[in-house]
Homo-oligomer: A and B are copies of this chain.
Amino acid sequence: MSAESVTACVLLIGNELLSGRTQDANLAHLATTLNEVGVSVREARVIPDVPEVIVSTLNEVRQRFDYVFTTGGIGPTHDDITAECVAQAFAVPLIMNEEIAETIRGYAKVRGMSEAVLAASLRMARVPEGACLLPTDVGAPGFAMGNVHVMAGIPAVMQSMISKLAPTLAGARPVRSRSVGAYLGESTIADALTALQNAFTDVDLGSYPFSEDGRYGTTLVARGTDEARLEAVAAALRTLIIDHGAEPLERS
């Protein structure tokens, strides 16, 4: 991998992801969107709604990666503790953000919310002192504190946030890929693939078995930042497949 790469860690926060109740739908979308702007997700962690775990994980990964993106835990209920954990990790107070609070008060008026419900909703206006807001077209805003970007867990809200946030990030060259499939077992091409990987050290070659219509095959994926090199590898992969008696299948 390139030395000029910009790295990210994604933290998926929520007990429901660790109990099996909810299937995460955010990581793949985040990884794809961030890659488009040259930010490479190098690790993701799924962690529970436990303050000590969230705080210590935040403090570990915000040192190790250029960017951190969190999803989950920014609603109004007692198990929504991401904002206070970020404040604790950065050792700053949690304050009421007047911009978010005004939006929530506006909603409250329109909907005729009681004082108690409004007070609960205003939990979502609390951000660490010094944070910047992350706008969204859906729901309440997220926020950025240092290199930590705090987003909603609900996919539609998270997607709105990252679509606005991604173009503002300082990325490196995006990683592109070429995929070629073949009805060949992984073992059949393993040696040739190792040789190819050794010849193209600036490209990551991956091999992924698949089963379609009862036939087994392998998808070969080349990833790298240089289009010309990727084209060269893709051509070499097609030749490799033909040399092993199969037909290259184009993959998106």
Contacts and interface: CB of A to CB of B under 8 A. Distances in A.
Interface of A: 14-24, 27-32, 35, 40-49, 53, 75-79, 113, 116-121, 123, 154, 175, 177, 185-191, 193-194, 197, 204-209, 221, 223
Given A21-B177, A44-B46, A78-B194, 9 more contacts: A18-B44, A20-B29, A21-B221, A23-B27, A75-B207, A77-B189, A116-B191, A119-B191, A120-B188
Contacts of A206: 14-16, 49, 79
A18 B32 CA distance: 9
How many identical subunits does the complex contain? 2
Contacts of A30: 20
Nearest to A207: B77
A102 to B, nearest CB: 16
A203 B48 CA distance: 15
A17 to B, nearest CB: 7
A27 B42 contact: no
Contact of A16 (B18, B193, B197, B221): B221
A78 B28 contact: no
Closest 5 pairs (CB-CB, A-B): A20-B32, A20-B31, A120-B190, A121-B187, A44-B46
Nearest to A8: B18
Given A15-B204, A208-B22, A209-B154, A186 B76 contact: yes
A31 B43 contact: no
A242 B106 CA distance: 27
A142 to B, nearest CB: 15
Contacts of A27: 17, 20, 23-24, 46
Contacts of A40: 18
Nearest to A185: B117
A20 to B, nearest CB: 4
